[in-house]
Structure 1
């Protein structure tokens, strides 16, 4: 009988060590963590001190341009403390910055939203290789991943880029984006009229 009791106690110790909490995975703008929605409720559900977290996050990201989206991973400890891991901005953010655009293509297969050079791609891959999830991946693999992300954004990768031609392309693209925004707004208004 005592053997089975000892076995149950050892199993209970193992069960106590199992962590059933889920990691919080979200993007938070650099230096702009605030206790209000949507971040506040997500942290509150996990019993994290929201004002302390916001202060900690904003201090850690003080050297980064405010508003840049940072993928953040938060793991909760049983004593209400947490482990905070802040990644580099998403690949799509870097690609759009390098291309000089604010948004990707609505239909990436049919339209080109911007262009970047192979040098841009390599520089972005070097930055992204600092992410904990990409630590042990070779640069070639990260470049391949970035090419796929660029395609989904409608960004074309070229060997060389003429600044004057690209400036003209961006001006034409700006007009196309404005037209797309108008069409989307008209669709929203038509949908609201149907549901009213």
Structure 2
């Protein structure tokens, strides 16, 4: 049997276990002819243990109107917010500080996110986390 031919790939950030056919998900899948409720049910089943967290998903849509999807770990910014107790980032990053992270917290986040990052080095992963923190207005203490 020949491999399925990929039509497109869609990347979305959805709440774990709480996907609905409402925008942005419904219209995005509908334009590719995907049965929305089939995806919603499968996604909610797979992410039921991650309720309330943002779970990135990559949906692969094939020419024959079938789909597969892969869930990823929460975005680094969400992990930073969770580590800081739910604070939002600063509206004026670089001027107004939104919080502080120490190196141990940065390492903890980097270790958690490492499988999804484009590196295998924990030091490089820590630099990625530090850069995201700085862009959110979070100070990283040494």
TM-score, normalised with respect to structure 1: 0.67
Aligned to 1:52: 38
Structure 1 residue 77: deviation in Å?
1.6
CA contact (8 A) 1:101 1:114 kept: no
Deviation at 1:102, TM superposition (A): 2.8
User: Which residues in structure 2 correspond to 1:37-116 (within 5 Å)?
Assistant: 37-64=23-50, 66-116=51-101
**How big is the shift at 1:137?**
2.8
- Aligned-partner SS, 2:11: strand
Query: What residue in structure 2 maps to residue 28 of structure 1?
Result: 14
Unpaired runs of at least 5, structure 2: none
Structure 1 residue runs without a partner (length 5+): 1-16, 160-196
> Do the aligned residues in 1 keep the contact of 2:4 with 2:63 (CA within 8 Å)?
no
Structure showing greater relative contact order (alpha-carbon pairs closer than 8 Å, 6 or more residues apart)? 2
Deviation at 1:22, TM superposition (A): 2.5
1:145 match: 128
Larger Cα Rg: Structure 1 or Structure 2?
A: 1
TM-aligned CA deviation for residue 81 of structure 1: 1.6
For 2:23 and 2:92, locate their aligned partners in 1 and report how far apart those are by CA, in whole Å: 31
Say if 2:87 and 2:98, in contact at 8 Å, map to a contact too: no
Residue 18 of structure 1 and its aligned partner are, at CA, apart by 10
Q: 1:59 to 1:20 in 2, by over 3 A?
A: closer
- Greater fraction of residues in strand: 2
Q: Cα gap change, 1:63/1:28 in structure 2, threshold over 3 Å: closer, same or farther?
A: same
Report the secondary structure of 2:115's partner residue.
Answer: coil
C-alpha separation in 2, matches of 1:20 and 1:60: 22
Superposition pairs of residues 119-134 of structure 1, within 5 angstroms:
119-131=104-116, 134=117
Higher share of residues assigned helix: 1
The DSSP-based 3-state class of the residue aligned with 2:8 is coil
TM superposition shift of 1:49: 0.9
TM-score, scaled relative to structure 2 = 0.90
